[in-house]
Chains A and B, each alone.
Chain A
Amino acid sequence: MAKYDVVVVGAGNAGLSAALQCQIAGKKTLLIEQHNLPGGAASSFRRGRFEIEPSLHEICDYGPANNPGDVRNILDAYGVKLEWIEVPDCYRCISTYSDGSPMDVVMPAGIGPFIDAMEKYVPGSRARMETLFDLFQEVLDGIAYITASKGHADSKVLQAKYPNMLRTGAYSTKKVFDALKLPQKAQDILSIYWSYLGVDMEHLAFIHYAAMVHKYVSRGAYIPKHTSHQISTAMVERFRELGGQVWFNCRAEEFLFDGDRLCGVKTNLGQIDCRYVLANINPDIIYGKMMPKELVPEREKKLSAARNGRFGGRMYTAYFCCDKSAEELGIKDYNTFLPGTADSRKEYENIMGGMKTNDYSIFLCYNVINPDFSPEGTCVCSFTTFGSPVDWNDLSQEDYFKFKTDGAKKMLRILKEKMGVDLTGHIEEMAVASPWTFARYLNAPEGAVYGYETADWDGMMARMMMLGQDYPIKGLRPIGAAGPRGDGYSAAYICGQLMAQSAIRELNAEEGGNK
């Protein structure tokens, strides 16, 4: 029978990161993945002569060599190398301001240029924007300190060095923006990234939003040259190089226990003995389906009940491969946010109301920053929005294909109205991924790739503070979007590493004890 120190279940971003971390620490590690590809949503697929990126818009925490972000540092530490492309602008947004007036802004990367652009669109915003960015920086430093302290942050240090983080950290983004007296129009422009976290500004912790926006603006965003499948495959190959083993199309069916301690995994490729499992699986699925019910701790049942199915980011994405170049089609920007309104609460409600009311989408064209992304004279575009259980829970198979396409048609219409760009008549290949699709490939509850909403009491910082209390099962730790860092590529790589480090410490302590 196969025997390992650690089995990482699920080769999503967190799983890949965790597997590399464990192997580097000298643990005999097996990575199993239920699909025949690594990466989960960090993947790609082919249609005709095109290769399509399913999920990645941009990575916010990679950064240039002279100002590396966490993701660059992590991949460097793992020895994972691949070619990256810098995204020049943060975003374009075509929408309406909260007061109903039209918005069309292009926000560049770099703190100086970003604040300059804001001053141009919202005259008089400069001083408050500078204060905001100072605050962002302090928050970021504070989070770094808390993360490094691994749950033992010294409150004296926090009070001395990060007082503003402490004073703002427990509030929603909206509350802090108001407290800073940021003009409403500047708030509207700043709030655009909300959808990357899936929680509107009234419910999203400021500290979480601050960390993300600061990274995007100060370090710029990056994408791999050849889709996120390239990142995932590069990580798998590095893991192999280090001696790790990977089994694809290998599904964990059940976690096996010796008393209250995990001792193995039952899979379609046989039983695997191990001392530890890092599971890139949503805890609801682990507790509900993959382990003996009597071993699920009371508090974990309560945690799940308290979250009450409040999942974030049920993805809906339409992909179009066109037989004209971006230039010929009149597409100038890499990513354009096209929400109906900049009021994130309203947009959130429209989204949750289903496709009828949902007027949110993000439009991307990869060729704008990567001319080689598809054959000459062609381009690949995508629209991303969120699905709602209202639409997808009870949809019949008979209506499914048409409903999927109708959503794509709506997005094409919005694109034409707002940007004057018409893709119809140029579509050579297309695909639509619905929450069903993401549920199928990732097995994420409701196709929600963002895990549980990092809203209100269950925000990122609160989860970080309770690392030791959540998921107290011996030898088993869930990792991924449901974890302390929430959703997103960067968060998943960081979470995978963080949780693997904890597992390694526990295993080392045991080994020390045994000697």
Chain B
Amino acid sequence: MALNVKVGLIGKFDMLKFKNMAKTREKAIQAAPAKEVKGSFPINENAKKLHPDCQRLVVDEIIDHKSAGAKTFVFRRLDGEPFPYFRAGQYLSLKLPIDGSFVTRSYSLCSSPKDALKGKAAITVRSNPGGFVADRLLAELNVGDELTASDPQGFFYYEDLRDADTVIGLAGGSGITPFLSMARAIRDGVEDFKLTLLYGSRDEESILFKKELDEIAAQCPKFKVVHVLSDAETAGYEHGFITAELIQKYAPADKEYSVFLCGPEAMYRFLKPEIAKLGLPERLFRRKMIDVTKTPWELEGYPAACRDKVFDLVVKQGAAEYHIKASANEPVLTAVERAGIKAPSRCRSGECGWCRSKLVSGTVFVPQENELRRWADVEYGYIHPCSSFPTSDLVLEVPGEFY
């Protein structure tokens, strides 16, 4: 039997109804008022406030940690808006014009998320002789100065569905800052987990935020700090380096714990075998990704012949094209920044992917620990210039920026 479906009693009316769909629609449209179309929606506005393209910040206060060779810069927003709320442990990427270059540097927020609601956010910068940025900021950034920063970024934060109730934090030097934010967040009731911090410093003098860390520990049973001094044997402090043994001394013996790590590259290299001794599943170990290495030739797989070479780099951005040089010893991004090109970048570790660019031709070396590209990006020749070292002449298409 031929198919014969009717919905109404008389199929002819159904057909008419079909034919009239356009008329029905036009009627509904014409019945509406010709109001101005509003192009903004609360959900979109909320998203923009939480994740602005960039923010103009003003230095509101500077706290000098003289003996530790560091300063804390407290910012407010130039537009007077609250600072975007964030997860304790996240960082800001500062976008700085220095000597004709446009460079970015990431600094963990050390303030409590609660302060963001009051319009304040803080980072701490420690002296780094020979570096391009830190000492300039320490010497030249004054109260009232303005600068541009990203929204809060990164995945180094506590998540109760994922992490154990107890976190053993391993901090080295200025790697204390994300943990300070976490400790403050625990104190403020923003975060709810047990944090035992093993904080490595050279000596008592160079401990950053000692007073505040001790104060929070005194008033807040969920937070504990253990100072570990490498260069001094002082009563009341652990001595030496942070080791598996030391972690086990302070970790709960009877239940799961997470280990969070933030510190300088040397500390990461030293702790890698120590962490392995703990036998933790990967899910219980998190580390703050740090800037790509400055000595790529020390890594496995580096084509030794490339070291110290200088290559030709063509950078295309929109309709513009730049012909510059790129040293094999530095990430491609550094060459781009030095040429004064405003290219996107945030984490400088390969993690965030914000600098993702099309490698039109040429080859690069990507350290294994920074190989965090997507499958298809590897397949179709996209690189993260922040963590790729040139090993030939390159042609690169970089995305635009919004500041």
Contacts and interface: CB of A to CB of B under 8 A. Distances in A.
- Bound together: yes
Interface of A: 1-2, 36-37, 44-49, 51, 131, 134-135, 138, 155, 159, 163-171, 175-176, 179-180, 226-227, 229-230, 232-234, 236-237, 240, 246-251, 267-270, 283-290, 293, 296, 298-306, 308-309, 314, 323, 389, 392-395, 397-398, 400-401, 405, 408-409, 412, 424, 426-430, 435-437, 439-440, 443, 445-447, 457-459, 461-463, 465-466, 469
Given A138-B3, A227-B374, A301-B34, A405 B29 contact: no
Nearest to A237: B380
B5 A176 contact: yes
Nearest to A409: B161
B318 A269 contact: yes
A412 B282 CA distance: 21
Contact of B32 (A247, A302, A429): A302
B7 A168 contact: yes
Contacts of B254: none
Contacts of B25: 457-458, 462-463, 465-466
Given A302-B34, A305-B34, A466-B26, A170 B283 contact: no
B85 A269 contact: no
Contacts, number: 269
B5 A303 contact: no
Counting chain B CB atoms within 10 Å of each CB, the highest count among A138, A234, A269 belongs to: A269
A445 B41 contact: yes
A288 B344 contact: no
A401 B87 contact: yes
Contact of B7 (A131, A171, A248): A171
B155 A47 contact: yes
Contacts of B31: 306
Contacts of B319: 1-2, 269-270
Nearest to B35: A305
B167 to A, nearest CB: 15
Nearest to A469: B26
B318 A250 contact: yes
Given A226-B379, A323-B283, A164 B42 contact: no
B376 A457 contact: no
Contacts of A302: 29-30, 32-34
14 contacts: A1-B319, A135-B5, A168-B5, A226-B379, A230-B376, A296-B37, A306-B31, A392-B42, A408-B161, A427-B161, A439-B46, A440-B48, A457-B21, A457-B24
A72 to B, nearest CB: 19
A86 B354 CA distance: 32
Nearest to A44: B374
A436 B41 contact: no
Given A166-B14, A397-B85, A427-B162, A301 B117 contact: no
Interface in B180-196: none
Closest CB pairs A-B (n = 5)? A288-B39, A289-B39, A249-B399, A269-B318, A428-B283
A397 B82 CA distance: 10
Given A230-B376, A285-B39, A428 B162 contact: yes
Given A180-B5, A249-B402, A303 B38 contact: no
Interface of B: 3-7, 11, 14-15, 17-22, 24-44, 46-51, 82, 84-85, 87, 116-117, 155, 159-162, 281-283, 317-319, 344, 351, 353-356, 358, 372-377, 379-380, 382, 397, 399-402
A436 B50 CA distance: 9
Looking at chain B's contact residues, the main secondary structure is loop
Contact of B376 (A47, A180, A234): A234
Contacts of A168: 5, 7, 14
Contacts of A429: 162, 283
B318 A167 contact: no
A416 to B, nearest CB: 13
A458 B31 CA distance: 14
B7 A230 contact: no
A415 B24 CA distance: 43
Nearest to B84: A397
Nearest to B6: A167
Contact of B162 (A171, A240, A430): A430
A164 B7 CA distance: 10
A19 B317 CA distance: 19
Nearest to B22: A465
Nearest to A308: B32
Given A234-B380, A462-B25, 8 more contacts: A134-B3, A135-B5, A286-B39, A397-B84, A409-B161, A430-B161, A446-B41, A466-B22
Given A46-B372, A131-B3, A395 B46 contact: yes
B186 to A, nearest CB: 15
A466 B31 CA distance: 17
Contact of A437 (B5, B47, B116): B47
Contacts of A405: 159-161
A36 B354 contact: yes
Contacts of A267: 318, 400
Contact of A458 (B28, B85, B281): B28
B287 to A, nearest CB: 10
Nearest to A301: B34
Contacts of B42: 389, 392-394, 446
Given A226-B376, A306-B28, A306-B32, A268 B399 contact: no
A357 B24 CA distance: 34
B89 to A, nearest CB: 12
Contacts of B33: 301-302, 305
Nearest to A134: B3
A299 B26 CA distance: 10
A284 B38 CA distance: 7
B85 A440 contact: no
A447 B20 CA distance: 33
Given A131-B3, A306-B28, A301 B43 contact: no
Nearest to B24: A457
B3 A135 contact: yes
B380 A169 contact: no
Contacts of A288: 36-40
Contacts of B84: 397
A486 B303 CA distance: 51
B50 A167 contact: no
Contacts of B22: 462, 465-466
B161 A424 contact: yes
Given A250-B399, A430-B159, A167 B29 contact: no
A166 B30 contact: no
Nearest to A444: B44
Contact of A457 (B28, B281, B318): B28
Contact of B161 (A163, A400, A412): A412
Contacts of A459: 21
Nearest to A269: B318
Nearest to A170: B17
A462 B46 contact: no
B43 A314 contact: yes
Contact of A167 (B7, B38, B344, B400): B7
A331 to B, nearest CB: 17
B14 A170 contact: yes
